[in-house]
Amino acid sequence: MSSAAPRPADQDDLWSVDEHLEDILATVRPLEPIELQLLDAQGCVLVEDVTVPVSLPPFDNSSMDGYAVRVADVAGASEEFPAVLDVVGDVAAGQAVDLLHVGPGQAARIMTGAPLPPGAETVVPVEWTDGGLGEGPVTGMRARSLAPEGAEGHVHVYRSAEARAHVRAQGSDVRAGDRALDAGTVLGPPQIALLAAIGRGTVRVRPRPRVVVMSTGSELVQPDESLGTGQIYDSNSFALTAAARDAGAIAYRVGAVADDAETLRSTIEDQLVRADLMVTTGGVSVGAYDVVKEALTSVGDEDEPGSGVDFRKLAMQPGKPQGFGTIGPDHTPLLALPGNPVSSYVSFELFVRPAIRALMGLDDLHRPRTRATLRADKALSSPKGRRQFLRGAYADGDGTVAPVGGAGSHLVAALAQADALIVVPEDVESVEPGTEVEVVLLG
């Protein structure tokens, strides 16, 4: 028994949805951090405070294509009375400037991002000059490879410039020693931009969890094969693999395992090596062939504390039978979901998704919830003592939600039209149209 929460003393021995979730989240610990290449860390949670090692920009540099000059040399310049300066060379981005010096009466042609050369005090954009062509203001430079003479000769400057105009000062973005990102930050593209910009090629993050998904049931056939008598297609292993990825995991689909405890046990043992979390569907109810229940009590070392899966009934519809615990030598968490496609999908949303996000170390574990007005032809009925999750279509515009399909837990067709779950609390047996209800947005 891995359960952190005590079993409830309810008359029906039912666990509430919240108790089950609490038990899961009390057991699932964030994965150990590892050092990952920046692009492999996308979407992951940083576990270190990252400090800026070198100021950005690392040197004073030009924010324009133009000429690096001395302020006094362009003071009072105009189109009528341009300043005429000697061009002493080019400063391109990435070029060392140690040999170039801008003296009185001189200008260096400078490119955006290039370091301000010694002696220069300001930058005049090329559009304020004749670009060295002697024919009035230009709109840009000719490519160096086509017109090497642009790096020498004379330039007419038509406007004055203040000191350090068009110069990005060293350290004006971030300074060495500043905190760039705090531990706990989720790394999206802008955070990756900053890390790369300060020279960090790898970062310490919690990795994406590896989730192994297997469905169970001797009735299950792979899509594209032909159905025999009494057979149906396996949809859970596909749906939950996709959903696990969507939640941020690296998901492995094992597919359907037949209802044989020995086969299931050895499949699970095989798969444990690549699992941070295992998810099974089916075989958790009260039947004589509920193989997950049968198999899972004896996986792993029973002497190890914290190993074992507990099967329980939840005050929930769909999704009453559930299993949760840890298995194997590493106490890998396992969620055993019911086999019905809608039950397993709803269970995934409520229990597996938060578990995946807890493994990632995210703070924000849950789907957003909102309140909406029920739009329906007739009252919704809900079993007393069960928290019901109905598939719904949410309309953001007018804040309403309409049920999609019926309450039957096999209506996978309706699920594909839904974008929300309508929550009907345990103590409510009927919800009239127009009532405000809680809604889980499936995003």
Report the residue from 45, 211, 254, 261 that binds a copy of itself according to the rule CB under 8 A: 261
Burial of 41 from C-beta contacts in 10 A (0-12 / 13-18 / 19+): buried
Q: Which of 351, 382, 367 is nearest to 25 (CA)?
A: 351
Pairwise CA distance, residues 313 & 298, whole Å:
20
Pairwise CA distance, residues 319 & 5, whole Å:
19
Under the binding rule (CB under 8 A), the answer on residue 416 touching a copy of itself is: yes
Binding string, 96-135, against a copy of itself, x = CB under 8 A?
xxx----------x-xxxxx----------xx--------
Under the binding rule (CB under 8 A), the answer on residue 227 touching a copy of itself is: yes
Under the binding rule (CB under 8 A), the answer on residue 143 touching a copy of itself is: yes
Q: 396 φ, ψ to 5°?
A: -60, -40
Amino acid identity of residue 386, one-letter, is R
User: Quick one: which segment of 51-59, 67-75, 299-307, 426-434 binds a copy of itself (CB under 8 A)?
Assistant: 51-59
Under the binding rule (CB under 8 A), the answer on residue 140 touching a copy of itself is: yes
Residue 270 or 396: which CB sits closer to a copy of itself?
396
Burial of 295 from C-beta contacts in 10 A (0-12 / 13-18 / 19+): buried
Task: Give 38-101 as a DSSP string.
Answer: GGGGTTPEE-S-EE-SS-BSSS-EESSSEEEE-HHHHTT--SSS-EEEEEEEEE-TT---TT--
Residue 229, SS3?
coil
Of the chain, the end-to-end C-alpha distance in Å amounts to: 34
Q: How far is the CB of 409 from a copy of itself (least distance, A)?
A: 8
Task: Give 347-409 as a DSSP string.
Answer: HIIIIIHHHHHHHHT-S--S--EEEEEE--SS-EE--TT-EEEEEEEEETTTTEEEE-S-S-T
Under the binding rule (CB under 8 A), the answer on residue 234 touching a copy of itself is: yes
Burial letters 77-99, b for 16+ CB under 10 A, else e = beeeebbebebbbbbeeebebee
Under the binding rule (CB under 8 A), the answer on residue 193 touching a copy of itself is: yes
User: Quick one: which segment of 14-22, 215-223, 325-333, 424-432 binds a copy of itself (CB under 8 A)?
Assistant: 215-223
Q: How far is the CB of 435 from a copy of itself (least distance, A)?
A: 25
Amino acid identity of residue 112, one-letter, is T
User: Quick one: which segment of 3-11, 159-167, 323-331, 402-410 binds a copy of itself (CB under 8 A)?
Assistant: 402-410
Q: How far is the CB of 220 from a copy of itself (least distance, A)?
A: 7
Report the residue from 411, 421, 424, 431 that binds a copy of itself according to the rule CB under 8 A: 411
Report the residue from 22, 86, 219, 330 that binds a copy of itself according to the rule CB under 8 A: 219
Pairwise CA distance, residues 3 & 425, whole Å:
25
Residue 221 or 428: which CB sits closer to a copy of itself?
221
Q: Which residues pair with 91 in a beta bridge?
A: 110
Residue 245, SS3?
helix
Q: How far is the CB of 386 from a copy of itself (least distance, A)?
A: 15
Report the residue from 22, 30, 42, 393 that binds a copy of itself according to the rule CB under 8 A: 42
Binding string, 282-311, against a copy of itself, x = CB under 8 A?
---xxxxxx--xx-----------------
Q: How far is the CB of 88 from a copy of itself (least distance, A)?
A: 15
User: Quick one: which segment of 152-160, 192-200, 299-307, 379-387 binds a copy of itself (CB under 8 A)?
Assistant: 192-200
Q: How far is the CB of 294 from a copy of itself (least distance, A)?
A: 5
Report the residue from 150, 308, 333, 403 that binds a copy of itself according to the rule CB under 8 A: 150
Amino acid identity of residue 108, one-letter, is A
Report the residue from 84, 151, 183, 365 that binds a copy of itself according to the rule CB under 8 A: 151
Residue 214, SS3?
strand
Report the residue from 93, 176, 273, 379 that binds a copy of itself according to the rule CB under 8 A: 93
Binding string, 325-364, against a copy of itself, x = CB under 8 A?
--------------xxx---x-------------------
